[in-house]
Chains A and B, each alone.
Chain A
């Protein structure tokens, strides 16, 4: 049971972070389908940082450096979307998809190049970071507390305040609802949209890092992040683009994702004798069902997906 809570919380943290990323981007008016690719790149940045940090550094320094690396890489990668979608008015779905393919491919190429450079026989795409990962975890009895759970919670609160209580957040939302109106009162729509995309890149990258450190101490980048970026988008839609609802939705989805990891610990579930693949499918099935119920009265930002053109009426 304790294990289930632990996994639920950590997967929920991933989903909260990435879904908030999507939320910021969409409130500014840019659909970010590319979160999956951004997660992979962020994870890569964090993993490499953990790999190359000298052993024996103080835990807070390690945590800070690793987070910084993944956030930065995620932001830089999301700029690809920003430039194409905002400056060049490209189709946002298409560019996002390109990001999703580009992220894992680039990560595999890079990791393999590093591994092969270390030893010629090593053609795997795995990065090991067992040592550095320990600094994220505090053992409380049998419960493994991960600092990321706290960070995700804090960021959730911060996102709520930023979106609803600050000038910046309200302006951001205006750009996603009616960019022409926002422009007419002197808000720079392009700048706001860049800000939204960059924030989503940073949060997405951080989410990727949390995902790969959730249970394991090495990551094979060929696997990508198994559709988690899209699950996060489902969480965002289920949460109706509102931070608090996103947090609750993430907990629900996290629970189902955690079940596939730990269902063997529950006698009642084992007695059902379902194949393990059913549990693997569960989060995706649940998200489809949930989407059916909430999409009809969707409260998506009105101008999302439409490139802003100053000259357009």
Chain B
């Protein structure tokens, strides 16, 4: 009992382990709520529908087809991962980047414009996406640093401004008869990100490009920058206490702007590796900002605000979002997945409380054990004393 439980306790004390437990709890409760909502709508098919959401591409019986759709999910998840890294990076510096969605839109507009209108190769398009999105993020950062404008509100305003601007810009390269932009594969093949053979792994899914591994590499880079460099330390210090950072000689205004630019660039990169695969065309009459950036918030928090954790959480969020399309549409609608992921974000708000509560229970248990231990020790001592006395 003693040794074993001691080890177990230290595991429960571990912050990372607590985060993983909390995230898993969020997922389970989120799915449960989704299931209950399905039950309320139509009790008949609820079990099947929630299974369809969890299964996603496994819905297809043939392994080849499942592999192909696994690839598609991965492509979308890689874009989502970049958005969630964008949110995470800003949050570590104390900024809530709800504008990842808008920066993603700006990135999409820039890369498609460079690819379709200017006929640039893919790396130029990708670079354009990153740069323009970084500028969009930088605007919010500058407004925050110099004018004390709340970044959440300025980001939301920029989301809408960005959306309308991109719609206007991409109308130039729109198909004649449809509201969609021309496809990259027919207009400018060089703007497609190369596959390097990755498509063969996923039953010739030509949308699986080097963008997927690149996104994971970016997650590692973000982790290294935040945790292992002086630059990352400075940014985090600025986020913790702006005044203290300034006092220590850090340029806090520059740090805020830089953070938002990096966050924007990350989201733009996500847009680039998504739209430059040709998987989707931009609809120029779009009246709402794509959900990618908002789901990025869910993924960032579900991943415990750890870049490596977000790799898994982004995949999970995308997995259930894609899975939502397989529910029986005569009974339910695909937005049920949005509802689940929105609820998961809500639950993430409770993670801090959960950790405090868990630690309090552990403290109590330890106190009790310590008290017990003292008592037994006293008894033993007393027994020993008696023995000694007798001898």
A123 interface residue per 8 A CB criterion: yes
Q: Which residues of A contact B343 (CB under 8 A)?
A: 98, 102
What 1/0 flags go to B351-364 for Cβ under 8 Å of A? 01100000000000
Verify if A105 is at the interface (C-beta below 8 Å from B): yes
B98, A97: Cβ atoms under 8 Å?
Answer: yes
Tell me if B28 counts as interface (CB < 8 A to partner A).
no
For the complex, give the distance between the alpha carbons of A296 and B149 in Å: 7
Q: Does B348 contact A (CB under 8 A)?
A: yes
Cβ < 8 Å to B, chain A residues 278-298: 280-281, 284-285, 287-288, 291-293, 295-296, 298
Measured between C-beta atoms, what is the minimum distance from B130 to chain A in Å? Answer: 23
Considering only CB atoms and an 8 Å cut-off, how many residues of chain A contact the other chain?
51
Q: B353: which A residues are within 8 A, CB to CB?
A: 88-90
Residues of A within 8 A of B160 (CB): 226-227, 281, 284
Give the distance in Å from the alpha carbon of A10 to the alpha carbon of B316 in the complex.
Answer: 43
Q: How far is the CA of A109 from the CA of B345 in the complex (A)?
A: 18
Question: Which of A67-75, A112-120, A194-202 sits within the interface?
Answer: A112-120
A50-109 CB contacts (< 8 Å) to partner B = 80, 84-85, 88-91, 93-95, 97-99, 101-102, 104-106, 108-109
Cβ-based interface call for A237 (8 A): yes
Tell me if B301 and A94 are in contact (CB < 8 A): yes
| B297 within 8 A of partner (CB) | yes
A233, B153: Cβ atoms under 8 Å? yes
Bits for B156-196, please: 1 = Cβ < 8 Å to A, else 0: 11111100110110000000000000000000000000000
Judge if B136 is at the interface, Cβ distance under 8 Å: no
B interface majority secondary structure: helix
Q: Which chain A positions have C-beta within 8 A of B149?
A: 288, 291-292, 295
Interface string of B332-346 (1 = CB under 8 A from A): 110110110111011
Bound CA span A291–B146, Å: 12
Query: What is the CB-to-nearest-CB distance from A75 to chain B, in angstroms, rounded to a whole number?
Result: 17
Interfacial chain B residues near A93, Cβ < 8 Å: 96, 152
Known: A113-B333, A116-B331. A234 touches B157 (CB 8 A): yes
> Are B352 and A90 in contact (CB-based, < 8 A)?
yes
Cβ–Cβ < 8 Å partners of B297 in chain A: 94, 97, 101
Pick the residue among A105, A227, A277, A291 that contacts B159 (CB under 8 A): A227
For B148, B156, B338, the residue with the greatest tally of chain A CB atoms inside 10 Å of its CB is: B156
Give every chain A residue within 8 A of B168 (Cβ-Cβ): 275, 277
In whole angstroms, how far apart are the Cα atoms of A198 and B283 in the complex? 39
CB distance from B326 to the nearest CB of A (A): 15
A230 contact set on B, CB distance < 8 A: 153, 156-157
Interface status of B127 (Cβ within 8 A of chain A)? no
- Measured CB to CB, the closest approach of chain B to A54, in angstroms, equals 25
Interface residues in B288-343 by Cβ distance below 8 A to A read 288, 294, 297-298, 301, 329-333, 335-336, 338-339, 341-343
- Verify A288–B333 contact, CB threshold 8 A: no
- For A285, the closest partner residue in chain B by CB is B161
Q: Is B10 part of the binding interface, using a Cβ–Cβ cutoff of 8 Å?
A: no
Q: Does B247 contact A (CB under 8 A)?
A: no
Nearest to B148 among chain A residues (CB) is A295
Docked pose: A94 CA to B148 CA in angstroms? 20
Residue A169 lies at the interface, judged by CB distance under 8 Å to chain B: no
Contact sample, A vs B, 14 pairs, CB 8 Å cutoff: A90-B352, A93-B152, A97-B297, A98-B349, A105-B339, A105-B342, A109-B333, A112-B333, A117-B42, A222-B288, A281-B164, A291-B143, A295-B149, A296-B148
Counting from the closest, the 8 A-B pairs by CB-CB distance are: A90-B349, A98-B346, A101-B342, A98-B345, A105-B338, A102-B342, A112-B333, A105-B339
* Given A275-B168, A280-B164, 20 other A-B residues pairs in contact with their CB atoms under 8 A: A88-B350, A93-B152, A94-B349, A97-B297, A98-B342, A98-B348, A98-B349, A102-B343, A106-B342, A108-B338, A109-B41, A112-B335, A113-B332, A116-B333, A120-B330, A223-B287, A291-B150, A291-B157, A292-B147, A295-B150
